């Protein structure tokens, strides 16, 4: 736009036409203030005057907002009607035609927009960087970036704290250089730099676990992933390193693994781990023609400890036994708890079976020493079974079975001892299995019966009752003695079925004799330890009495002295409950156990039964006579009758009569008889006298 000294427009180009929305025909010849009026900026008018009169050039920058739109209503080439930016360049022009000025107006709106966009983009990048930095610093994982020469570019706060590098300017340094500032081991601080090369050489991400020893003596385990980055030309650009702390996960996994293979009470290897070690030891022994021994061990009468002192003390005993067993073997041997009170010992690299004997004897001695447990002094013993590889078998299952057979022999022979496996034990096991199977069948047939041995009142000579004794007549094997099948039934659930059968048959017989017109006579039945401890004992007896209608006053239950004392509190409660039902209580085999006379007075005892072992040698051993007389006096002193078993001679009968024994039974009077023969015997006059030798 060309302006003369009177501020008239001499030249008006197309840009001005579009910007001011005024055609050139209108603008040329008009004064600036006529064109724009009050919208004309004062500074711009002054610049025009300075250029024409003083020859001064001016550069003015202004922002024309909505108030100034009459001057420039839009950005040329657009529909923008908001604020625009422009630069006014006013230059003087002197010619023959006079003084003029040239006003050049440049629109800077787009440049400003571009600058604003660049600033916004820079701010966004800065924000993204801040967010990324915040993110990686918040992560509880190692996050690092290295350049193509293994120099650190970025490391998050977790990494810096882990290696004590928070105050170190790490950027541009290699791992070896940073290790000089770290208290962590150099090899750990490098974070396995050799794997950097592996990642680049393989051209793919690699993952591995890395253990870092810390300055406090602990370690951390990281699951590390390294991802190589390459330039378009294939050169190394950098490396992304991410390491996740999996220490807790590894610790938990190790703990789970330990719990899966170790006993939670004793921390010894459990059955699973023991079997694994036994298999491994067998494989090694086969390769080297070696010898090993397997020892199975059970604590004797452990249940009595639980019952008398409580399960807490029982657990303490198991822990103490575990510690003593470990002291009895070498570090190369294995002690395991298989369950309950059953332990196992694996002895490897033996030169002879004598080594197993030495260990077994040491175990027996160690366990026999008193245990001080929670202010209780506990005595214990163990039974052991030993089998030798390769003499007794080569298969894993065979050795376990043979050791178990040897253990069973130790228990059968009186406990607190050990036995080596011998081949004859297999035959015994087969016999036991055969008897157990046949006994199951016998309970559902008529092979079993009750015999009755008379109980004789010494004052009157009359039969006052009978002890019911079970008999088994096998259709093929003939008569099987109780000693052959009762212990087998005791070790299985058969004893409960057998005990109920005896009780039911005895009650039915009481009713049958009553219907036959016989006088009411007491029938005594024996309770095994398992029966006596069974929680359904009372309910079973009540149920059978209700079913049969038998008078409970005609029933007497016999338990041994050992059973009565195994759990004193429980025994007192059960015996009192039985007594309240009307049953009589007899303590069998008295004098052979370990009764405390102080405890005995708490039992509701009706009869003490002197064991036959004291009667058999009355004349040979004077102390037997003294024991019998003492028991008779004791029984009378607590208000109980005294019964003597095993009377077979007139001399024995005379002794019992002289010392006022109340009741006797034995072959001198009668063998156990079937029910019908016993009934006939009751109807006869007493055939026995003190001079009879029958």
d(CA 15, CA 350): 111
Model confidence, pTM: 0.52
**CA nearest to 334, candidates 368, 371, 284:** 284
According to DSSP, the β-strands at 522-526 and 555-560 are: parallel
The yes-or-no answer to whether 2-107 and 139-250 have a common fold is yes
pLDDT top residue among 575 and 109: 575
Task: Decide if pLDDT at 687 tops 80.
Answer: no
According to DSSP, the β-strands at 448-457 and 663-664 are: antiparallel
- Looking at domain 2-107, its CATH class is alpha beta
Give the Å distances, CA to CA, from 214 to 92, 208, 500: 80, 19, 69
**CA nearest to 271, candidates 359, 199, 335:** 335
Partner residues linked to 390 by β-bridges: none
Through-space distance between the first and last CA atoms of the chain, rounded to whole angstroms: 162
d(CA 526, CA 555): 11
**CA nearest to 32, candidates 83, 88, 93, 80:** 88
Task: Decide if pLDDT at 236 tops 80.
Answer: yes
According to DSSP, the β-strands at 607-610 and 236-245 are: unpaired
d(CA 602, CA 571): 10
Percent of the chain with pLDDT over 70: 90
According to DSSP, the β-strands at 376-378 and 236-245 are: unpaired
Query: What are the strands of the beta sheet with 84-95, ordered from one edge?
Result: 9-11, 2-4, 98-107, 84-95, 58-64
Say if CB 6 and CB 30 are below 8 A apart: no
DSSP string, 133-152: HHHHHH-SEEEEEEETTS-E
Work out the pLDDT band at 109, boundaries 50, 70, 90: low
Say if CB 556 and CB 550 are below 8 A apart: no
For residue 170, give every residue at least 6 positions away whose Cβ sits within 8 Å of its Cβ, in sequence order, or none: 152, 155, 160, 178
Helix (H, G, I), strand (E, B) or coil at 32: helix
- Looking at domain 139-250, its CATH class is alpha beta
Q: Which CATH architecture best describes the domain 262-422?
A: 2-Layer Sandwich (3.30)
Tokens of 151: 């120099």
Say if CB 324 and CB 314 are below 8 A apart: no
Residues 199-218 pLDDT 10s:
989 999 999 888 888 777 78
Residues 47-76 pLDDT 10s:
888 888 888 888 876 554 433 344 555 444
Residues 332-380 pLDDT 10s:
999 999 999 999 999 999 999 899 999 999 999 999 999 999 888 899 9
Per-position b or e across 142-170, b if 16+ CB within 10 A of its CB: bbbebebebbbebbbebbbebbbbeebeb
CATH match of 447-683 with 3.40.50.620:
no
What are the residue ranges spanned by the domains of the chain? 2-107, 139-250, 262-422, 447-683
d(CA 265, CA 254): 18
- How many alpha carbons lie under 13 Å from residue 319 in its C-beta half-sphere? 13
d(CA 528, CA 620): 32
Residues 456-505 pLDDT 10s:
998 888 899 999 999 999 998 899 999 889 888 887 788 999 999 999 99
d(CA 520, CA 464): 9
Exposed/middle/buried for residue 544 (C-beta within 10 Å: 0-12, 13-18, 19+): buried
CB atoms within 10 A of CB 328: 19
pLDDT top residue among 33 and 549: 549
d(CA 159, CA 476): 84
């Amino acid at each position: 736009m060309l302006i003369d000294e009177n501020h008239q427009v001499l030249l008006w180009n197309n840009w001005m036409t579009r910007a001011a929305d005024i055609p050139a025909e209108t603008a040329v010849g008009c004064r600036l203030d006529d064109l724009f009026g009050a919208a004309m900026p004062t500074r711009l008018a002054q610049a025009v005057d300075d250029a024409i009169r003083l020859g001064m050039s001016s550069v003015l920058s202004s922002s024309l907002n909505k108030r100034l739109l009459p001057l420039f209503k839009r950005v040329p080439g657009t529909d923008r009607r908001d604020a625009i930016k422009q630069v006014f360049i006013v230059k003087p022009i002197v010619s023959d035609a006079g003084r003029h000025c040239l006003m050049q107006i440049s629109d800077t709106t787009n440049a400003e927009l571009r600058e604003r966009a660049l600033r916004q983009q820079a701010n966004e990048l800065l924000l993204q960087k801040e967010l990324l930095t915040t993110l990686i610093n918040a992560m509880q994982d190692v996050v690092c970036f290295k350049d193509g020469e293994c120099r650190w570019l970025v490391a998050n706060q977790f990494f810096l704290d882990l290696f004590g590098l928070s105050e170190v300017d790490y950027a541009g340094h290699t791992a070896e250089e940073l290790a000089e500032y770290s208290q962590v081991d150099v090899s750990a601080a490098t974070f396995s730099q050799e794997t950097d090369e592996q990642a680049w050489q393989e051209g793919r991400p690699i993952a591995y676990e890395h253990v870092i020893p810390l300055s406090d003596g602990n370690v951390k385990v990281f699951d590390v992933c390294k991802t190589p980055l390459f330039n378009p030309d294939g050169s190394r650009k950098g490396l992304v390193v991410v390491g996740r702390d999996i220490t807790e996960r590894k610790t938990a996994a190790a703990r789970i693994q330990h719990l899966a293979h170790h006993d939670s009470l004793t921390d010894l290897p459990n059955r699973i781990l023991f079997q694994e070690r036994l298999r491994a030891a067998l494989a090694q022994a086969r390769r080297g023609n070696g010898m090993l021994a397997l020892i199975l061990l059970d604590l004797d009468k452990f249940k009595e400890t639980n019952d008398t002192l409580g399960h807490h003390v029982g657990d303490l005993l198991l822990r103490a036994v575990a510690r003593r067993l470990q002291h009895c073997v070498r570090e190369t041997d294995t002690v395991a708890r298989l369950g309950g009170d059953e332990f196992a010992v694996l002895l490897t690299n033996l030169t002879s079976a004598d080594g197993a004997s030495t260990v077994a004897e040491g175990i027996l001695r160690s366990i026999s020493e008193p245990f001080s447990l929670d202010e209780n002094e506990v005595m214990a013993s163990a039974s052991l079974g030993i089998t030798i590889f390769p003499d007794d078998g080569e298969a894993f299952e065979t050795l376990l079975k043979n050791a178990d057979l040897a253990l069973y022999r130790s228990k059968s022979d009186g406990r607190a001892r050990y036995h080596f496996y011998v081949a004859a034990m297999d035959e015994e096991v087969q016999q036991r299995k055969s008897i157990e199977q046949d006994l199951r069948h016998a309970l559902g047939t008529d092979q079993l019966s009750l015999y009755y041995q008379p109980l004789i009142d010494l004052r009157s000579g009359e039969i006052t009752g009978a002890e019911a004794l079970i008999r088994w007549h096998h259709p093929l094997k003939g008569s099987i003695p109780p000693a052959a099948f009762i212990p087998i039934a005791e070790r299985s659930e058969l004893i409960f079925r057998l005990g109920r059968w005896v009780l039911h048959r005895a009650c039915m017989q009481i009713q049958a004799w009553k219907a036959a017109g016989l006088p009411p006579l007491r029938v005594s039945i024996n309770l095994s330890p398992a029966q006596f401890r069974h929680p359904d004992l009372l309910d079973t007896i009540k149920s059978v009495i209700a079913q049969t209608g038998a008078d409970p006053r005609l029933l007497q239950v016999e338990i041994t002295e050992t059973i009565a004392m195994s759990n004193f509190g429980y025994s007192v409660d059960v015996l009192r409950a039985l007594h309240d039902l009307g049953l009589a209580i007899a303590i069998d085999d008295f004098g052979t156990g370990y009764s405390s006379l102080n405890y005995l007075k708490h039992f509701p005892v009706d009869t003490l039964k002197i064991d036959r072992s004291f009667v058999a040698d009355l004349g040979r051993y004077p102390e037997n006579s003294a024991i019998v007389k003492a028991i008779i006096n004791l029984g009378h002193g607590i208000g109980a009758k005294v019964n003597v078993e095993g009377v077979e001679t007139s001399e024995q009968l005379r002794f019992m009569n002289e010392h006022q024994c109340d009741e006797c039974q034995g072959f001198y009077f009668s063998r156990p008889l079937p029910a019908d023969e016993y009934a006939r015997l009751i109807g006869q006059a007493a055939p026995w006298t003190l001079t009879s030798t029958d």
